[in-house]
Amino acid sequence: MRRRISGLRPLWLVTAFVSIALISLHSRLAHPLLDAVPPLVLSAALFLSGVLYMINPKTPEHETHVMSAPVRGRWAALNTPGQQLPSHGTRFLGQYSAVDILLPSTPETPAKVRRAWRNSKPQEYLSFGEPVYAMADGVVVRTKSRAADHRARNTWQGLAYLMTLEGIIRSLGAPGSLFGNHVLVEHDDGAVAAYAHLRKGSLLVEVGQRVSAGKQLGEIGNSGNSSEPHLHVHLMDRVNPHAAAGLTMTWDNIAESGGIEPSLAEVVKDPAPNAIRTMPRNGDIFHA
């Protein structure tokens, strides 16, 4: 039932917008059609559609999927299932076990938050343009490649915009509004991997193409709901993110370096009891 409800998320969104519009018109215009629908009914429809919109499928019992990391070299992890589940604090769009990956910072890397009028350009970050690889064999089932790579959100006003207005607007849009440029790969076992925030025009695959583990899919960008260039990847049990439940995964080709990314030191803490211990924790640096 929860899956069916979440699969109709676009309908609940339209219902909410229509209810808001009719409530607004009700107080301004006198019309027989408007009078036929009491404001209380419209308010109830708005409330109910909002509740239904927030429902997400629960993750079914399953074995953790073992696959290869989608990057090569030395990387840092954030918002990872090695810290807690749900890793991003939500099950929305199958993100139950999602992980964000970025290159460790250097003295030249822009600060996470700085006092300035303009946010940093994506080209100023080392992660921008780095290759992204398929984690397992499968078939490409969905792509998007034309979204712009916007500036980072690393000023106080930029971060506030991301966390409020921008984040809300993108959440109300299609999954591509959050994912930005992305690739969805359906693996041979039915699981679907989402690779998000890719660089505009960098995709090297197309829908229907079969890929092997390690095949380059594209490059890291800063499209969609992203504060700085990084790769967001997660595993789900459906192609449709609205109806999908997130699946857990682990990588068999990584080794932890024992180091901590300095810019993420403040988020380092002991993992939650339900964390996947074979995945890096928040702030951990690993080699793939």
Which helix or strand (DSSP H or E) is residue 102 part of? Answer: strand 99-102
Residue found under tokens 């109709």: 8
Instruction: Give pLDDT, residue 284.
Output: 95
Supply the DSSP string of 227-261, one letter for each residue.
SSS-EEEEEESSSSGGG--EE-EEESS-EEEEEE-
Average pLDDT in the 177-188 region? 96
Instruction: Give tens-digit pLDDT for 244-278.
Output: 999 999 999 999 877 898 888 888 899 999 999 99
Tokens of 248: 């857990």
CA 275 to CA 250: how far, in whole Å? Answer: 11
The strand pairing partners of 76, in sequence order, are: 102, 285
Radius of gyration, alpha carbons of the chain: 20
Instruction: Give tens-digit pLDDT for 24-56.
Output: 766 666 656 666 667 777 777 777 877 777 778
Which helix or strand (DSSP H or E) is residue 125 part of? Answer: none
Give pTM, 2 decimals: 0.89
The gap from C-alpha 131 to its chain's centroid, in whole angstroms, comes to: 18
Rounded mean pLDDT of the chain? 89
The answer to whether 81 and 97 are in contact (CB under 8 A) is: yes
Domains of the chain (ranges, CATH numbers): 2-53 (no CATH), 65-287 (2.70.70.10)
| Percentage of the chain exceeding pLDDT 70 | 93
